[in-house]
Amino acid sequence: MNLNRFKKTLFSRSTLRGIVGIVAFLVLWEAGSQSKQWLGFALPWIGQVPAPTAVLKAWIGLVGDSGYWQSWYMSLIRVLTGFLVAMLIGIPFGLLMAVSKTFRSLAFPSFELLRPIPPLAWVPASIIFWPTQELSITFVTFLGAFFTVVINVLGGAKSIDIRYFQSAQAMGASQWDIFRRVVFPATLPSIVVGAAVGMGITWEVVVAAEMISGGGSQAGGSGGGLGFFIWNSYVGGSYAQIVVGMISIGVAGYLCSATLRALGGFVTPWLKKR
């Protein structure tokens, strides 16, 4: 995108309208939170929420705090580990199910039996099983992404047009050639989508697991990840920090998904819109 077009999008009417929407939301939020001072009575629900200005102030206070950044780092490491392991196991597993009918009949029903159990229901079992809390949180994170990745890979491989196989075979491709040149590239978009969705779920799961298991906090409550940061702020009564934590997780999750989307676009260049 060249500079001119960037300027054009930046100052276009739709960007402006988006900004108007967000600003209106912030103003309403501020008014709702400050209703006691501004209107003379506290509005229900929103009256308890810390105001945007208070949140901003709390955030500025936290920028220099190493504990806050440590939380970022902890959550990020857990998400990335769980996610990478899920990809490493999930992609071959899904492809194997797609390629071999016998393996699919063997494994798919059991897989479907476990899939509807929400990943968070695994938290206690995983705490019992794994020796450290770090591992148990990472395991739950892995589970969150694993099922999504497998289902997407399987769905993508199954939707390949059978004529592609037939023509590859007619032109003398071996089984391995078909896998490498037909199945894998055709499944790649689904893998990318599965990875993006899985990444979203991992962030959800990591936050919850950190909240429930206490985050494995060793460094005096500040090394437990962003989920624990939020919970700690709640318990400690610094409500503005809760919102800071929420926004931080939102930003972190968004950045991860955006990176993944960019990577996905890079490995599937043929999907780019002409």
Partner 1 sequence: MEQLIALLKRTMPFQMVPDSMLLAIAGLAKWESHARGDVLYQIGDKAEDIYVVSSGSVQHTLGIDAHAIHPDKTVYSGGVFGWAAVLEGQRKRLAKTVCLERTELIRINGEDLINLFKASPSIGDVVMSRFATMINKEFTLPEAVATQVRHFPPGEQTLPQLQATMATGLTLTLFRVSQWVKSPDPYLMITGFAILLGFWYFAVEVWKLPRFEDMPGLTVVVKELFSKNPVYGVSLYTPEYYHDIWISVRRVGIAFFLATLLGVPLGLFLGWSKKFREYIFPLFETLRPIPVLAWVPLAILMFSGSETPVIFLTFLASFFATALNTMLGVDSIDESYIRAASCLGASRWQSFREVIVPGAMPFIFTGLQISVGVAWFSLVAGEMVSGQFGLGYLINTSYTMVRYPTIVIGMITLGAVGYSTSALVRMIGDYMMQWRVRELALGGR
Residues contributing to the site for partner 1 (CB under 8 A)? 13-14, 17-22, 25, 45-46, 48-49, 102, 105-110, 113-125, 127-131, 200, 203-204, 207-208, 211-212, 226-227, 230-231, 233-234, 239, 242-243, 245-247, 249-251, 253-254, 257
Q: Of 190, 258, 228, which Cα lies nearest the Cα of 78?
A: 228
Q: What is the smallest separation between the CB atom of 200 and partner 1, expressed in angstroms?
A: 8
The C-alpha atoms of residue 249 and residue 271 are separated, in whole angstroms, by 30
Q: What is the smallest separation between the CB atom of 184 and partner 1, expressed in angstroms?
A: 23
Residue closer to partner 1, measured from CB, 88 or 251: 251
Residue 20 CA to chain centroid, in angstroms? 28
Residue closer to partner 1, measured from CB, 80 or 120: 120
Residue closer to partner 1, measured from CB, 191 or 206: 206
**Helical packing angle, 239-267 and 225-236, nearest 10°:** 170
Identity of residue 197 = V
Residues listed for the chain: 274
Residue closer to partner 1, measured from CB, 2 or 13: 13
- Please check whether residue 247 is in contact with residue 226, taking contact to mean a CB–CB distance below 8 angstroms: no
* H/E stretch holding 127: helix 123-129
Q: What is the smallest separation between the CB atom of 10 and partner 1, expressed in angstroms?
A: 13
Angle of CA points 236, 242, 247, to nearest 5°: 160
Q: What is the smallest separation between the CB atom of 203 and partner 1, expressed in angstroms?
A: 5
Q: What is the smallest separation between the CB atom of 180 and partner 1, expressed in angstroms?
A: 27
- Please check whether residue 226 is in contact with residue 72, taking contact to mean a CB–CB distance below 8 angstroms: yes
Residue closer to partner 1, measured from CB, 85 or 135: 135
